[in-house]
Amino acid sequence: MSARLTTPPKHGHKSFLYSELADDLDTLQADIAVLGIPYGSAYSIEEVSNDQSNAPTAIRQASDRAVRALERYDFDIGGPLLMNKPIRMVDCGDVINDARDLGTSYRNAEAAVRKILKAGALPLILGGDHGIPIPVLRAYDDQEGPITLVHIDAHLDWRDEVNGVKDGYSSPIRRISEMDHVKDIFQIGIRAQGSARQEEVDAALAYGANIITAYELHDVGMDAVLERIPAGGRYYITIDADGMDPSVMPAVNGPALGGVTYHQARKLIHGLVNKGRVVGMDLVEITPAKDVNRISSIAACRLFVNLIGATIKAGYYER
């Protein structure tokens, strides 16, 4: 048997939303698989271990505030979480890192997602900083059909490098744009200032990225944004917590006013599930020490609840 890629969740709730633990990915049998990826690719030694690495645990710990019990009716999704169906949702634990070789995290993350996809399960990814979609999306290169990336963020994330690091949290969309299996890119909620300069904006526009600022979103509404996204696609959703309005997710390093509301994000998730096929989703960059009444982690759980419920209702797991 090959070496393990993940380790069980740390403490408290042993899994995300009461799911079954399944840290042996070689024998994985699941419809939905949760995977924590705590560590990204640091820009400095100070960032090797940052508070965002605690986010997968914090999100799991919010499970009983987001979903009180599996059998209870949930008005966000129109039924109980698993819709009274034999859906197998598992928690694969957190990707193992090695302090002596920081690239281990990305290599293990890519390998773990490949095993989840091989098992036919839908990956739900708990970050970690926003570098982690890079190894996650690499794992989709042998899947059927191109991927449309749908990105919620305050920031553009198109830097080619920072401090010589090309796969850090300022570069995920730039790196993903270079992947042959990714086609269209929609970036929603962009606002204020991040690491992007004019050259990064120019690079994104030259690629053909669809940049939808938060202000355009608020003016036209999420229904109009959904209409711009081609139907029948295979969608991967990446949500940076700072893309949400700080009233929804205050636990971020760079809060930016005027962000995506919970209602808008929920509508986007349901809309994508029903106009094509969502093939994965991550939520990244929650900084638990900065949270208020755990609302950021609870909101993260609730966004995943909406994806889970919507995909079950849409018949994703029927055989």
Which residues line the annotated binding site?
A: 130, 153, 155, 157, 240, 242
Residue 163 exposed, middle or buried by CB count within 10 Å (0-12, 13-18, 19+) = exposed
Q: Token pair for residue 113?
A: 């997602």
Question: Residue 267, SS3?
Answer: helix
How far is Cα 235 from Cα 27, in angstroms, rounded to an integer?
26
Q: Known binding site for Mn(2+): residues?
A: 130, 153, 155, 157, 240, 242
Which residues are CB-neighbours of 175 under 8 A, at least 6 positions away? 134, 166, 167
Sign, Cα dihedral of 298, 300, 305, 310: positive
SS3 225: helix
Q: Which residue has the tokens 């962009």?
A: 190
Q: Are 70 and 18 in contact (CB under 8 A)?
A: yes
Which two structure tokens, joined as six digits, stand for 79? 């039924």
The closest of 155, 103, 163, 164 to 134, measured between CA atoms, is 103
* Residue 48 falls in which region: left (phi positive, over 0), alpha (psi -120 to 50) or beta: alpha
Angstrom distance (rounded) from CA 285 to CA 191: 17
| DSSP-assigned letter for residue 92 | E
Residue type, position 137, single letter: L
- What spatial distance separates the first Cα and last Cα of the chain, rounded to whole Å? 29
Whole-angstrom Cα distance, residue 188 to residue 117?
Answer: 26
